[in-house]
Structure 1
Amino acid sequence: MKGSILRIVFIGIFSLIDAFTCEGQFIDLEGAKPYKKVFVETDDFDDAYLTILEGSWDKVNNDTISLSMLNDLAYYWHTRNLNTSLSFAKKGLALSASKNNLLWKGRFQITQGAILLRMEKLDSALMVLKDAESKVKEEDLAFLNTQLGYVFERRGELDKAADYALESLRLGEKLNDKKAIALAYSDLSNIFWKQSKFEKGLEYGLKSIGIFEERGIKDLDYDFTLYVVGNNYFNLQKHEEAMDYYNRAIAIGEQYGFYNNLSDVYIALADLNAHLKQFEAAASDGIRAVKYAELLENDFMIMRSWLSIGKLQNLEGKSEEAIKSLQKCIEVATKDFGDEYYLSQAYEALGFAFAATQAYEEAYQAFIEYDKLKNSIFTAEADQRISLLQTEFDVALKESTIKLQETELAQQSTRQTIILIIAGFLLLFILVLYRNYKNNKEKNALLEKQNKEKEFLLKEIHHRVKNNLEIVSGLLALQSAQLKDDNAINVMQESQNRVQSMSMIHQKLYQGTNLSTIEMKDYFNNLGTHVLDSFGMVQQVDIVYEMSALELDVDTAIPLGLIVNELLTNALKYAFPDNRKGEVKLALEQKTDELLYLEISDNGIGQNVNKKPAGTGFGMQLVNLLCQQLQGKMNRLQQQGTSISFEFRTEPHNN
């Protein structure tokens, strides 16, 4: 017993000595330079650096250094626990606001955006990062663009993600920022890997590794790049090289406590060992991946960890267990899960698991989801490539048909004269028919090509309109950031929401299969989520959508979207004061072939008809004008809240 106590005491003493030694390596509160920036000026410390930063950042007298330390603390905590990380980021935002320091507010917003996107709050992350652009310096923009690229990568929009990586590369080269250049190459390597262009992915990954090693700093992004290079080697069937890079990544992750990278690498190791039929090692790797993901409280990593375990169980023939793991994986993902790349893999693996248990109906539904998700991440370039391959196939088919006919003609040349004459007439007739057939086929192919081009152009127009509306929304956000008057800020926010409601229409048009109609339930769901998020009332107010799927033309959908936006805004502003919880119901129904019924109601405090309306009244003026535009009739009911209903004359659009 006595020996055990002494051993514990000695261990404690040595731990304290190590901690103080570590602190001395990057923090010297009494020195001329109290802080050596972690993973920039030094990586000479152990995994206790976050504890040391937490105990030191508020003891520095220099505001800039103190804010820099707090920002590093917030950012690098996201490698251990996302919720803790977010709490430090919010503390930094509050501190920079209290000091009226716009630059550091922007930098903390970049950190906040990096955390939010890893929490799968992609829309919120995008909004915060966009808001930070006008506040920070040019030297911060490469890192900001990297985070924006991650948002679109998670959404499956790899072309946009690549655009941001290339912009980071341009800025890095302009400013001679080796870290920015290395990180851009790393992001491109990861994007090419997701596109299954493994040779190109390996090329960029090794470029990134070379620059990182030239810097001489082993940081989070160098660790992640080792993992990405390992992924490309794995898919190129170079298993020893992949294993080497994975092990190097694990060593750094364990040294500094990068739980997110460790979870990533153990997922990859589980896949590699499963591929090599090392099932016991793969299972152990999967369990470790789950452990680190749960320490992070990162649903994205938890989902991927269970996906890896489910795929392993499929390979082992444990289909029932695979179904449970994959269903858990999809349950963690939820309907708002941002990364369609991994979610598509989950449904594909679930389809194989169901099929192995002869649950063919469930397998069929899983494969439908897989196809839907996989198709959603196709790019225009990929579509063009498919069209080119189809053209090449058609040309080869025509050449094959012509050669076959020439062979048949050569065989007929040995027959008797009368047969040759008859064959000549038949050949002439066949050639005429073939020419007509070929001409018709070429005309049809040309028409089909023109239709596809027009459809692509229409989608591109809607895409550009949506982007321009987002620019307008961003400009309004920038303008509102300069305002001090609360009323003016509210007007700007409401204008942003109106622009956003129209932007969503055009987004649905270019993402959907029908370029002339909008499915209103999904549109209202997205609009409601956006409005709740913009007012910060997601936890306070629920929106219930009492409607079935219904498609309407654009000329009807846009005014309806603006009407619903205005009435939702009014409800959130006035119906639930003093943080009162409540519910808003939104109903849309095609009563008859020509009659459309819309109702928005809440269970808030209601409106005193004898009291002067709050605000400018512009919102209700706009609703009245839009109602007249749709030749509609509006009814208002004040009873246990507010209910406003409309009847419009319109025509339905069914699939």
Structure 2
Amino acid sequence: MVKNLKKQLICTIITIFSTLFSYAQIIDLNRENPYKKVFVDTDNFGASYLDILEVALPKIKTDSIKFSVLNDLAYYWHTRNLNKALSLTIQGLKITKQKKDTLWHGKFQITQGAILLRMEKLDSAFFVLQEAKSKVRKQDLPKLNTELGYVFERRGLIGKAADYALESLRLGEELQDKRAIAMAYSDLSNLFWKQSKFDKGLEYGLKSVALFEEVGINDLDYDFTLYVVGNNYLALKKEEEALKYYKHAIAIGERYGFYNNLSDIYISLTDLNAYLNEFEQAALAGENAIKYANLLDNNFMLMRAWLSLGNAQNLEGKYLSAIESLQNSIRIATVDFGDNYYLSQAYNSLGRAHAGNHDYQEAYAAFAQYDLLQSKVFTAEADERISQLQTKFEVAQKENTIKLQETEIKKQKLRETLIFVISVMLFIVLSLIYFAYQNIRKKRILLQQQNKEKEFLLKEIHHRVKNNLEIVSSLLALQSAQITDEKMVSLMLHSQNRVHSMSMIHQKLYQRNNLSKVEMKDYFVNLSQYVLDSFGNDNRISLKVDMEPLEVDIDMAIPLGLIVNELLTNTMKYAFPNNKKGEILINLSNSNKNDYSLNFKDNGIGFVDNKASEGTGFGTQLINLLVSQLGGFIKKNNENGASISIQFSFEKTA
């Protein structure tokens, strides 16, 4: 007895200190930010966090902090007691109206809409939420649209609910609000699950979980998302994965007292255990679902809890118990229940229970209600379903085996007809695809032929241009042979080299597959060798083209070839007097897409001012004009010989 008293005393002391510690963590009026918002700024609290907020509320003097605490109290009480949550919300609406605080009045209306929705007052919830739209800030709209989506989901209008979820997603992305995006993904996951698109539902659910975990707060919506992911896994027959998510969701729900989520999860656990033929576990889960729904005083949860229990009893073969449970579910739903999806499931299960109990007339009536509700949710072909049920009812009533066989024969003929029609349509589609493919193939062959013809013509043009330039070069050579003036001979040689440098460009083009690009390294090597040969200096001058292979456009290659030709010519004439041996280095590179650098260096005597008068200056003028044409500039260096660097940017114009 004494030991028990000691244990109780220790537990009480621990609870008191834990509560005080949690209070200090959440509310501290001496801090600059006195309220660490629950599930946003901190999750360092236990199941008593609502009690902590209620104790602190009267002591808070600042309106904005008071409204924030009161709104959180109202919102999170709706996970435990809807009536108390509504009472707190009305208190907040009254105070904010007195203070003429429109923004906070709108926020309390969002909370009010969430509570009214769960109290089955869908029209009132819709009206309040619509009124709040013009009062709140843009960052509050994702949550408002989420609640509006729930209203239409509860009405069975899944398409309209999806529109609001997508609007929440758009706003979340625009505001870069990860939590809003996560919530939108969660809603879409749930809607896809209701539409039996489980792979898509799982995809969006896992996206939502990842974003919630990135934010790092285990709140009500994260808990709900775990449950939705579990539902999709269960529908895909991945029971172990589903159970893992359900257990995680239960742990959070029990820690914070999220009765609505706990009821949801136990409903799904009832379905899971029944599917695994663990009927005792299914019954316990169903009882827990009903318990939490009653604690919350939420007919929507209670209706679904009885539905899940009825489904489990159907699978176990306890049809009378199933009928009783399912009738409880339908009775709780009432006429203006709104959610045609779950109500249709209840009638479907009730029909199966009656059929299992050989009460086919009642089964027919239940299935008729199911089809009617399904047509509202999914626009299914209700008449065909009712006809099938009517046939089954008549067969069971009259025990007419012949009639059943005739029906099966008709179905078989219908299937055969359908298969034939599909086969014909498939043949037509495949034929069209084949003819389209043949047409495309013919066009492709024609285009290839045309391209080859154009490529041949271009190569022929480059070949003829090269030949014409070679003729000009030869004419210059013949002309120079008739001239005795050394200066004129030199000028003719220079002109001959310039023409040859251009002809080599066209020769490179028609010898390559690429008719618009010239590979400059090989071109510089050939051009340099030609110039050295023309001056008879190939043995005493060592030339190196130090660069990676680089392809450039023809509009850039021609001026570069002329520049290098002029530089080589000047070097041969002036850099190595008295048959002095020397070295020449050429390099072309590009640092990025359009920026290029041409570097030319020799180890000769360098730039000498008094030598400037020896030439005509035309070569230097030509180089400057060509560099200007390329949009570049020249840098000269006179250390250890002459060094010239040309920097330019080149972008081909249309």
TM-score (norm 1): 0.59
2:40 is matched with which residue?
Answer: 40
Aligned-partner Cα distance in 1 for 2:379–2:67: 41
Q: Which secondary structure state, in structure 2, belongs to the residue aligned with residue 61 of structure 1?
A: coil
1:303 matched to 2:317: no
Aligned-partner Cα distance in 1 for 2:262–2:418: 45
**Contact preservation (8 Å) 1:22, 1:46:** yes
Aligned-partner Cα distance in 1 for 2:151–2:138: 20
Q: Deviations over 1:559-605 (max 9, x none)?
A: xxxxxxxxxxxxxxxxxxxxxxxxxxxxxxxxxxxxxxxxxxxxxxx
2:160 is matched with which residue?
Answer: 160
1:377 maps to amino acid: V
Counterparts of residues 187-198 of structure 1 (less than 5 Å): 187-198=187-198
1:401–1:111 CA distance, 2 compared to 1 (3 A)? closer
Aligned-partner Cα distance in 1 for 2:186–2:140: 18
Q: Which secondary structure state, in structure 1, belongs to the residue aligned with residue 163 of structure 2?
A: helix
Deviation at 1:14, TM superposition (A): 1.4
Aligned-partner Cα distance in 2 for 1:9–1:28: 27
Aligned-partner Cα distance in 1 for 2:419–2:114: 45
**Contact preservation (8 Å) 2:120, 2:337:** yes
1:109 matched to 2:135: no
Aligned-partner Cα distance in 1 for 2:36–2:236: 40
Deviation at 1:69, TM superposition (A): 0.5
**Contact preservation (8 Å) 2:212, 2:222:** yes
2:33 maps to amino acid: K
Aligned-partner Cα distance in 2 for 1:278–1:343: 25
2:211 maps to amino acid: I
Q: Which secondary structure state, in structure 2, belongs to the residue aligned with residue 136 of structure 1?
A: coil
**Contact preservation (8 Å) 1:34, 1:60:** no
Q: Deviations over 1:171-195 (max 9, x none)?
A: 1111111110000000000000000
Q: Which secondary structure state, in structure 2, belongs to the residue aligned with residue 263 of structure 1?
A: helix
Q: CA RMSD in A?
A: 2.4
Aligned-partner Cα distance in 2 for 1:235–1:9: 48
Q: Is there any run of 5+ residues in structure 2 with no aligned partner, and where? A: 383-414, 429-654
Aligned-partner Cα distance in 1 for 2:354–2:31: 64
Q: Which secondary structure state, in structure 1, belongs to the residue aligned with residue 38 of structure 2?
A: coil
**Contact preservation (8 Å) 2:375, 2:381:** no
Larger Rg: 2
1:216 is matched with which residue?
Answer: 216
**Contact preservation (8 Å) 2:113, 2:126:** yes
Aligned-partner Cα distance in 2 for 1:181–1:398: 46
1:396 matched to 2:422: yes
1:5 is matched with which residue?
Answer: 5
Q: Which secondary structure state, in structure 2, belongs to the residue aligned with residue 368 of structure 1?
A: helix
Aligned-partner Cα distance in 1 for 2:418–2:363: 34
Deviation at 1:360, TM superposition (A): 1.6
1:256 is matched with which residue?
Answer: 256
Deviation at 1:229, TM superposition (A): 0.5
1:55 is matched with which residue?
Answer: 55
Aligned-partner Cα distance in 2 for 1:315–1:153: 28
1:177 matched to 2:177: yes
Deviation at 1:24, TM superposition (A): 1.4
Counterparts of residues 271-282 of structure 1 (less than 5 Å): 271-282=271-282
Deviation at 1:46, TM superposition (A): 0.6
Q: Deviations over 1:413-454 (max 9, x none)?
A: xxxxxxxxxxxxxxxxxxxxxxxxxxxxxxxxxxxxxxxxxx
1:341–1:380 CA distance, 2 compared to 1 (3 A)? closer
Aligned-partner Cα distance in 2 for 1:156–1:176: 31
**Contact preservation (8 Å) 1:57, 1:67:** no
Q: Deviations over 1:153-176 (max 9, x none)?
A: 111111111110111011111111
Q: Which secondary structure state, in structure 2, belongs to the residue aligned with residue 79 of structure 1?
A: coil
Aligned-partner Cα distance in 2 for 1:95–1:379: 46
Deviation at 1:15, TM superposition (A): 1.0
**Contact preservation (8 Å) 1:79, 1:257:** yes
Aligned-partner Cα distance in 1 for 2:139–2:381: 32
Deviation at 1:283, TM superposition (A): 0.8
Deviation at 1:379, TM superposition (A): 5.6
Deviation at 1:119, TM superposition (A): 1.1
Aligned-partner Cα distance in 2 for 1:236–1:347: 23
1:243 maps to amino acid: L
1:640 is matched with which residue?
Answer: none
**Contact preservation (8 Å) 1:259, 1:295:** yes
Deviation at 1:401, TM superposition (A): 12
1:179–1:399 CA distance, 2 compared to 1 (3 A)? closer
Q: Which secondary structure state, in structure 2, belongs to the residue aligned with residue 83 of structure 1?
A: helix
1:381–1:38 CA distance, 2 compared to 1 (3 A)? farther
Aligned-partner Cα distance in 2 for 1:360–1:141: 50
1:302–1:380 CA distance, 2 compared to 1 (3 A)? closer
1:85 is matched with which residue?
Answer: 85
1:320 maps to amino acid: L
1:601 is matched with which residue?
Answer: none
**Contact preservation (8 Å) 1:293, 1:301:** yes
Aligned-partner Cα distance in 1 for 2:363–2:422: 36
Deviation at 1:34, TM superposition (A): 1.2
- Give the number of equivalent residue pairs: 397
1:325 is matched with which residue?
Answer: 325
1:72 maps to amino acid: D
1:341 matched to 2:341: yes
Deviation at 1:361, TM superposition (A): 1.6
2:43 maps to amino acid: D
1:313 is matched with which residue?
Answer: 313
Aligned-partner Cα distance in 2 for 1:159–1:381: 18
Aligned-partner Cα distance in 2 for 1:240–1:23: 39
1:392–1:46 CA distance, 2 compared to 1 (3 A)? farther
2:608 is matched with which residue?
Answer: none
1:172 maps to amino acid: G
2:355 is matched with which residue?
Answer: 355
Aligned-partner Cα distance in 2 for 1:249–1:302: 19
Counterparts of residues 594-633 of structure 1 (less than 5 Å): none
1:81 maps to amino acid: N
TM-score (norm 2): 0.59
Aligned-partner Cα distance in 2 for 1:137–1:280: 50
1:618 is matched with which residue?
Answer: none
1:607 is matched with which residue?
Answer: none
Aligned-partner Cα distance in 2 for 1:152–1:58: 37
1:86 maps to amino acid: L
2:269 is matched with which residue?
Answer: 269
Q: Deviations over 1:472-501 (max 9, x none)?
A: xxxxxxxxxxxxxxxxxxxxxxxxxxxxxx
Aligned-partner Cα distance in 1 for 2:189–2:425: 40
2:64 maps to amino acid: T
Q: Deviations over 1:368-401 (max 9, x none)?
A: 110011110126999xxxxxx9x99784265699
**Contact preservation (8 Å) 1:159, 1:379:** no
**Contact preservation (8 Å) 2:263, 2:301:** yes
1:49 maps to amino acid: Y
1:238 matched to 2:225: no
1:397–1:179 CA distance, 2 compared to 1 (3 A)? same
**Contact preservation (8 Å) 1:323, 1:353:** yes
1:106 maps to amino acid: G
Aligned-partner Cα distance in 1 for 2:57–2:126: 28
Aligned-partner Cα distance in 2 for 1:71–1:178: 22
Aligned-partner Cα distance in 2 for 1:29–1:142: 30
Aligned-partner Cα distance in 1 for 2:43–2:311: 37
1:550 is matched with which residue?
Answer: none
Q: Deviations over 1:305-354 (max 9, x none)?
A: 00011011111111111111111111111111121111100000001111
Q: Which secondary structure state, in structure 2, belongs to the residue aligned with residue 377 of structure 1?
A: helix
Aligned-partner Cα distance in 2 for 1:237–1:64: 49
Counterparts of residues 207-606 of structure 1 (less than 5 Å): 207-378=207-378, 395-396=421-422, 398=424
1:400–1:42 CA distance, 2 compared to 1 (3 A)? closer
Identity fraction in percent: 62
Deviation at 1:3, TM superposition (A): 3.7
Aligned-partner Cα distance in 2 for 1:109–1:380: 36
Q: Which secondary structure state, in structure 1, belongs to the residue aligned with residue 378 of structure 2?
A: coil
1:541 is matched with which residue?
Answer: none
Aligned-partner Cα distance in 2 for 1:261–1:139: 25
Aligned-partner Cα distance in 2 for 1:246–1:184: 20
Deviation at 1:27, TM superposition (A): 1.1
1:381–1:67 CA distance, 2 compared to 1 (3 A)? farther
1:547 is matched with which residue?
Answer: none
1:399–1:139 CA distance, 2 compared to 1 (3 A)? closer
Q: Is there any run of 5+ residues in structure 1 with no aligned partner, and where? A: 383-388, 403-655
